Structure 1
Amino acid sequence: MKKLLIIAMPIVMVICGIPLFAILAIVTLSSQAAADCHAPTYQAGSGTTAVVSGSSAESGPAGDLKKQLMQLRFAKGYPTLTAEQTTNAITIAQVTRDLGVSRRGLQIAIATSIQESKLVNLAGGDRDSIGLFQQRPSTGWGTPAQIRDPVLATKAFYGRADHTKNTGLLDIDGWEKLPLTQAAQKVQRSGFPNAYAQWEPVAADIADVLGGDLPATATSGEDCAPTSCPDTGLPVEKGLTPDALLVLRSVDDRFGRHTYHGVGERPAAAGSDHAEGRAVDVMIDDWQKPSGVAHGTEIAEWVRANAEELGITYVIWRAKIWSVARNSEGWRAYTHPTGQANPTLDHMDHVHVSVVGTSATMDCAAASGEVVYPVPAAFIGNDARNWHATGSHWNTWHTGTDFGAPCGTPVYAAHAGTIEIDTSQGWSGPWLVKVTTGANSLATWYAHMQRVDVSRGQKVTPGQKIGQVGDRGNSDGCHLHFEVHLKNGPIYGPDNTNPSTWLSENATRDQG
Structure 2
Amino acid sequence: MPQSSPSPKRRGRLLRRGAAFVVLLAVAGYLAVQYVTGGTGGPGCEVVSDKGGPARYEFTPEQAVNAATIAAVGTGRGLPERAVTIALATALQESGLRNITHGDRDSLGLFQQRPSMGWGTQEEILDPTYSAGIFYEHLAKVPDYTRLPLTVAAQRVQRSGFPEAYAKHEPDAALLAAALTGRSAATLTCEGRPGATRTAGDADSVRAALLRDFGRDALQPTAAEVSGAKATPSPTPSVIKKDERTVVLPVPAGKDSAAGRGAGERGWQLAHWAVANASELHIKRVSYAGREWTAGNTDSTWRAITAPGAAEGASGAQSVRIVTTP
Largest Rg, 1 or 2: 1
Structure number having the greater helix percentage: 2
- TM-score normalised over the length of structure 2: 0.41
The TM-score normalised by the length of structure 1 is: 0.26
